[in-house]
Amino acid sequence: MAAEIIPVIPAPEVPAGHTSPGRLESVLRAGAFAVTAELAPPDSADPNEVYKRARVFDGYVDAINATDGSGANCHMSSVAVSALLARVGYSPVMQISCRDKNRIAIQGDILGAAALGVTNMLCLTGDGVQAGDHPQSKPVFDLDCMSLLGIARTLRDELHFQSGRKITAAPRVFLGAAENPSGLPHEWRARRLAKKVEAGAQFIQTQYCYDMPLLRSFMKEVDALGLTNKVYLLAGVGPLRSAKAADWMRTNVPGIHIPDAMIARMAGAKDQVAEGKQICIDLIQEMSEIPGIHGVHVMAYRQEETVAEIIDRAGVLKGRKPWQPGADHNESEHRTQS
């Protein structure tokens, strides 16, 4: 009987000074203004639904977030979505929520996702189960964002589980966390960010930022704490559909602040959808001029098809063309085979 042949998959090279071989880290470290977007995971087991949703971002974003039960609602898992995206060459950001899994399962997911080619992970505490479609489920919250960052960094840098048991190969990942410059109390937000950076966050994606004076004040505090050279910050933004929708968001979604003047601008527009896109473009252009902001995270819920137009009209890529399927045949072929 012939001996079994086990394929050896060459690991992508990690550039000097990087912690991952991923494109998002490379773009940020090179000083380019990065663009990430959020993919709504399907309520399906069909991988083609993931690919169809990702294609609307082709050539305009540097990485795609795979949400993890966002809003405590059930969808295809972030591990699966991220692995599917990585398989064909996209750069996924796998969100990890502490709500549904304990530290045993989470550490296993980190190793497993890294083995499947996922190089970016966003550590989140997560929304409470009462907010979602399974309020009868039992929340876990064995960890929070800070402790999850510490565990992930330990796996990567010290090669052992939290228990102390050694692992044989580290997950080569770029670690991120979320922050909300509009959250109350405002004066605590930058200090909260500092704690996440100390815990291991290398990049930050923020909640929606519609109040530019508030964002500028936050960034001044971030700079005063010496954080602008320690973490890459991507400001959250997204197109508003209507004045009514904007008013609903600021009333019902905790931590979102939308100024009265912006809602009045929407209400006075002949085409509120078009005005919502223009506001988003204006915000992105203003964000790109704020010191310490290294990119934007575009959350266009149920408007994902608008992201390419918004980024194109904002002009923040400055002629740079992020990866898209077919742009790098060698990398795409390698990832598909792996």
Q: Give tens-digit pLDDT for 60-78.
A: 999 999 999 787 688 999 9
pLDDT of residue 11: 77
Quote the CA–CA distance of 249 and 258 in Å, as a whole number: 8
- pLDDT-based confidence at 326, cuts 50/70/90? confident
pLDDT of residue 30: 97
C-beta of residue 189 within 8 angstroms of C-beta of residue 219: no
Q: Which among 174, 184, 194 is positioned nearest to 94, based on CA atoms? A: 174
pLDDT in tens, 47-64: 999 999 999 999 999 999
Q: Quote the mean pLDDT of the chain.
A: 93
From the number of C-beta atoms within 10 Å of its C-beta (0-12, 13-18, 19+), residue 111 rates as middle
Is residue 274's pLDDT more than 90? Answer: yes
Domains, the chain, with CATH or none: 29-239+283-307 (3.20.20.220)
pLDDT in tens, 127-173: 866 776 788 888 889 999 999 999 999 999 999 999 999 999 999 99
Global pTM?
Answer: 0.93
Q: Which among 9, 330, 333, 34 is positioned nearest to 174, based on CA atoms? A: 34
CA distances from 54 to 39, 82, 173, 281 (A): 7, 11, 21, 21
Percent of the chain with pLDDT over 90: 82
Is residue 330's pLDDT more than 60? Answer: no
- pLDDT-based confidence at 332, cuts 50/70/90? very low
| Average pLDDT of span 27-48 | 97
pLDDT of residue 328: 58
Quote the CA–CA distance of 192 and 136 in Å, as a whole number: 31
The label of the residue with tokens 């904002």 reads: 314
Contacts of residues 322-330 at CB distance under 8 Å and 24 or more positions apart, as own/partner, are 322/23, 322/27, 322/35, 322/59, 322/60, 322/61, 322/62, 323/23, 323/59, 323/62, 323/89, 323/90, 323/91, 324/58, 324/59, 325/55, 325/58, 325/88, 325/89, 327/59, 328/89
- Residue 189 phi/psi, 5-degree rounding, is -65, -45
Percent of the chain with pLDDT over 70: 95
pLDDT of residue 331: 43
- Residue 4 phi/psi, 5-degree rounding, is -70, 135
pLDDT in tens, 210-266: 999 999 999 999 999 999 999 999 999 999 999 999 999 999 888 899 999 999 999
- 5 or 145, higher pLDDT: 145
